[in-house]
């Protein structure tokens, strides 16, 4: 792995954590709501910064949004521009609960404006407020509802169904059992939580909504127990046609310049949003600055493939960008998503996690990522001898969804994407996520890992591919043997054997991904070596499983993908009446159906049978019964997501 080690040694001293933190401070000044003036100002600042750093291109791409425009088959909400907001108690005493000028996060995105005089209403506590039962025998018409449920769920019931005049939510929930990162409402009573009022053209959206602290919520409850409490709410904001903005910067490649490696980070977030996700944005900018400078100074060869940084609204920006350039997306070979990085462990409890690709998207990047993480972590020496030891807390995690890497993974384009994420973060999605809780050293380490992996994908040569094939062989054999030791050889019916078989398929796929990372003419010299190692993995799995290792029966059912975009079951239910009942039945019959549904669709390639896919999904996520999978695929066929392939 000498080439990878050289990349690490070249990149690491050139990256500046302090510079990245400075960028976070600059970005965190803006309330970065999609379509707003603040988002545009932050985008323009970053685009200028990239241009000053000498990238080959730096530009802002604009995508119209108006509540009707669709990208990837999804209707995009119009722009939302907040101006001011204030929530105060006016009786039995007067005091301010929330002021947008002080805490922008108090106003959920999508909140409508109030009439000129504002809204005056009596407070009613409905508990969680996200179920009809919470409103039984409670009259909330014309009242200000206080609730702890998710904001949109509460709003849809309280306002649209029961006629409330205002909504106040506080829904801080715990994310960890570790004492250092407890983050319930009791632990952070003065934190304002992130809340959103999701756009819906069909829903009533004429009442103001605020996110308030637990301390204020408890004070309201105490007052309400003594008698009526009246609040006054005023909001100046507007939903309007606007633009979704994507900052794009490139370092052009050489002989494979038409192919691209993407680094993504989401720019959207209420102020301050330092770790989530000004940190990812800042690190992406710092990585591109570093690589451009190294190339310019002759310390790094220009990569074969183009490196592209995309700073965009989370999920929606990636979907819009891929929609516009869908004919070129097949040229994207890898994606590295920076979402919450650089956190100080001492202050936040969060540490670096590198989230791998799902088994349906096997890639050499997983094992290579583990190798680079370990090399970067060797920052001190043993007290006994001079052997380097780890002094950096990190984890290599199995696939998890929830950010921009999903858009590329869950489509027919099958772009392998790794996800950098610092977790569990004590101040996640609160106004206490501020820049002083970041650590420059963390930026330097995670930046080195991300930059090295991106360079490996962009500079792939046969010599590096040969090293990676050897790494895949070692790690693949280790993974299979480790899994085999955890199985019970006396349990012939054990579903653990499906996992072992599926794991073998994943490791064979990782080997193949190394070969696929080379141009066709360069694959020839290594094709036999990959085939040999894949056969060896097959033999190892077969020896371990015995008769249970037989291939799944060929049921004759093979499907191919038609719809290229991420699976949207909600849209299917909305547009196809018969699908709703079928999906309800599938959810009742299949544990974790949504996750398994995505994984199963990702395996559809026109070659695998339904029985094979059932076994692959079972290996990673648990049983997806063949009867239910067959029904699910038939449904997807009926709605045009896939089509039956006939021999």
Query: What pLDDT was estimated at residue 544?
Result: 82
**pLDDT over threshold 90, residue 598:** yes
The maximal CA–CA distance of the chain, rounded, in angstroms, is: 82
248 close to 111: Cβ distance less than 8 angstroms? no
581: exposed, middle or buried (Cβ count in 10 Å: 0-12, 13-18, 19+) = exposed
**pLDDT over threshold 60, residue 493:** no
* Beta carbons within 8 Å of 291's beta carbon, 6+ residues apart: 11, 251, 300, 307, 451, 455
Question: Which of the four pLDDT bands, split at 50, 70 and 90, describes residue 258?
Answer: very high
**pLDDT over threshold 80, residue 385:** no
188 close to 231: Cβ distance less than 8 angstroms? no
Residue 124, beta-bridge partner list: 145
Question: Which of the four pLDDT bands, split at 50, 70 and 90, describes residue 567?
Answer: confident
Query: What pLDDT was estimated at residue 379?
Result: 79
**pLDDT over threshold 60, residue 538:** yes
Quote the tokens at residue 56. Answer: 């080959």
Closest CA to 66 of 54, 80, 55: 80
58 close to 234: Cβ distance less than 8 angstroms? no
Question: Which of the four pLDDT bands, split at 50, 70 and 90, describes residue 240?
Answer: very high
Closest CA to 574 of 156, 75, 109: 75
Helices 610-621, 626-638: axis angle to 10 degrees equals: 110
Q: Which of 351-365, 369-383, 505-519 has the lowest mean pLDDT?
A: 369-383
Helices 364-377, 2-11: axis angle to 10 degrees equals: 60
- The rounded distance, in Å, linking the Cα atoms of 155 and 152 is 5
- The rounded distance, in Å, linking the Cα atoms of 209 and 121 is 13
**pLDDT over threshold 70, residue 213:** yes
Q: Which of 43-57, 160-174, 176-190 has the lowest mean pLDDT?
A: 176-190
Cα end-to-end distance, the chain, whole Å: 44
Closest CA to 209 of 268, 134, 144, 131: 144
How many CB atoms are located within 10 Å of the residue 261 CB? 26
107-166: per-residue pLDDT in tens? 999 999 999 999 999 999 999 999 999 999 899 999 999 999 999 999 999 999 999 999
Query: What pLDDT was estimated at residue 246?
Result: 98
- The rounded distance, in Å, linking the Cα atoms of 421 and 433 is 15
Burial 42-75, CB ≥16 within 10 A → b, else e:
bbeebbebbeebebeebeebebebbeebebbebe
346-357: per-residue pLDDT in tens? 999 999 999 999
Question: Which of the four pLDDT bands, split at 50, 70 and 90, describes residue 185?
Answer: confident
Q: Are strands 388-390 and 378-381 parallel, antiparallel or unpaired?
A: antiparallel
Query: What pLDDT was estimated at residue 402?
Result: 86
Helix (H, G, I), strand (E, B) or coil at 521: helix
557 close to 604: Cβ distance less than 8 angstroms? no
Quote the tokens at residue 401. Answer: 């969804």
Question: Which of the four pLDDT bands, split at 50, 70 and 90, describes residue 409?
Answer: confident
Question: Which of the four pLDDT bands, split at 50, 70 and 90, describes residue 101?
Answer: very high
- Over residues 571-587, the mean pLDDT reads 92
458-467: per-residue pLDDT in tens? 999 999 999 9
Query: What pLDDT was estimated at residue 376?
Result: 96
Q: Which of 108-112, 218-222, 269-273, 479-483 has the lowest mean pLDDT?
A: 479-483
How many CB atoms are located within 10 Å of the residue 259 CB? 21
Q: What percent of the chain has pLDDT over 90?
A: 84
Query: What pLDDT was estimated at residue 462?
Result: 97
* Beta carbons within 8 Å of 115's beta carbon, 6+ residues apart: none
Q: Are strands 209-211 and 242-251 parallel, antiparallel or unpaired?
A: unpaired
**pLDDT over threshold 70, residue 237:** yes
314 close to 404: Cβ distance less than 8 angstroms? yes
Residue with tokens 């006016």: 90
- The rounded distance, in Å, linking the Cα atoms of 396 and 381 is 22
Query: What pLDDT was estimated at residue 548?
Result: 56
**pLDDT over threshold 60, residue 77:** yes
- Over residues 601-614, the mean pLDDT reads 93
How many CB atoms are located within 10 Å of the residue 440 CB? 17
289-345: per-residue pLDDT in tens? 999 999 999 999 999 999 999 999 999 999 999 999 999 999 999 999 999 999 999
Question: Which of the four pLDDT bands, split at 50, 70 and 90, describes residue 176?
Answer: low
- Over residues 547-572, the mean pLDDT reads 77
Global pTM value: 0.95
């Amino acid at each position: 792995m000498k080439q990878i080690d050289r990349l690490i040694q070249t990149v690491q001293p050139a990256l500046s954590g302090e510079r990245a933190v400075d960028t976070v401070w600059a970005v965190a000044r803006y309330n970065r709501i999609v379509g707003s003036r603040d988002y545009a100002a932050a985008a323009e600042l970053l685009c200028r910064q990239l241009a000053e750093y000498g990238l080959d291109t730096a530009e802002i791409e604009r995508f119209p949004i108006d509540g009707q425009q669709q990208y990837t088959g999804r209707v995009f909400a119009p722009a939302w521009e907040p101006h001011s907001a204030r929530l105060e108690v006016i009786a039995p005493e007067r005091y301010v609960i929330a002021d947008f000028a002080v805490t922008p996060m108090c106003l959920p995105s999508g909140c409508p404006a109030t009439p000129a005089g504002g809204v005056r209403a009596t407070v009613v506590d409905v508990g969680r407020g996200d179920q009809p039962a919470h409103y039984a025998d409670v009259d909330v018409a014309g009242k200000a509802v206080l609730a702890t449920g998710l904001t949109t769920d509460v709003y849809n019931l309280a306002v649209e169904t029961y006629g409330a005049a205002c909504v106040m939510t506080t829904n801080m929930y715990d994310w960890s059992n570790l004492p250092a990162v407890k983050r319930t409402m009791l632990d952070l009573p003065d934190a304002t939580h992130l809340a959103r009022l999701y756009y819906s053209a069909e829903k009533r959206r004429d009442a103001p909504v605020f996110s308030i602290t637990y301390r204020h919520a408890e004070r309201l409850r105490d007052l309400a127990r003594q008698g009526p409490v009246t609040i006054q709410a005023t909001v100046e904001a507007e939903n309007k046609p606007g633009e979704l903005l994507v900052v794009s910067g490139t370092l052009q490649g050489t002989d494979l310049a038409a192919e691209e490696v993407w680094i993504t980070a989401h720019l959207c977030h209420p102020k301050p949003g330092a770790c989530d996700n000004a940190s990812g944005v800042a690190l992406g900018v710092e990585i591109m600055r570093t690589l451009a400078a190294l190339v310019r100074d002759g310390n790094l060869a220009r990569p074969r493939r183009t490196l592209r940084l995309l700073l965009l609204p989370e999920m929606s920006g990636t979907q819009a960008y891929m929609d516009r350039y869908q004919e070129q997306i097949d040229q994207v070979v890898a994606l590295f998503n920076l979402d919450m990085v650089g956190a100080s462990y001492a202050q936040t409890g969060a540490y670096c996690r590198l989230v791998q690709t799902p088994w349906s998207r096997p890639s050499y990047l997983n094992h290579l990522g583990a190798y680079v993480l370990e090399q970067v972590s060797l920052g001190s020496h043993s007290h006994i001898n001079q052997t380097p030891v780890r002094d950096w807390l990190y984890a290599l995690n199995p696939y998890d969804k929830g950010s921009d890497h999903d858009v590329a993974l869950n489509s027919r384009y099958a772009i392998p994407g790794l996800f950098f994420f610092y977790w569990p973060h004590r101040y996640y999605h609160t106004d206490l996520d501020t820049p002083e809780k970041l650590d420059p050293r963390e930026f330097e380490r995670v930046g080195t890992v991300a930059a090295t992996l991106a360079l490996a994908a962009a500079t792939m040569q046969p010599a590096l591919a040969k090293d990676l094939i050897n790494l895949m062989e070692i790690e693949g054999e280790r993974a299979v043997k480790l899994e085999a030791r955890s199985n019970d050889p006396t349990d012939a019916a054990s579903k653990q054997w499906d996992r072992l078989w599926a794991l073998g398929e994943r490791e064979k796929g990782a080997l193949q991904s190394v070969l696929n990372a080379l141009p066709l003419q360069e694959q020839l010299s290594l094709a036999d070596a990959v085939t040999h190692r894949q056969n060896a993995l097959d033999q190892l799995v077969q020896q371990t499983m015995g008769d249970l290792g037989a291939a799944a029966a060929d049921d004759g059912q093979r499907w191919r993908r038609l719809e290229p975009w991420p699976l949207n079951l909600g849209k299917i239910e909305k547009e196809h009446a018969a699908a709703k009942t079928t999906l309800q039945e599938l959810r009742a019959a299949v544990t974790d159906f949504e996750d398994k549904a995505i994984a199963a669709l990702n395996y559809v390639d026109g070659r695998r049978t339904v029985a094979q896919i059932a076994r692959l999904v079972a290996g990673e996520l648990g049983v997806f019964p063949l009867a239910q999978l067959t029904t699910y695929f038939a449904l997807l066929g009926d709605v045009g997501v896939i089509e039956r392939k006939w021999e």
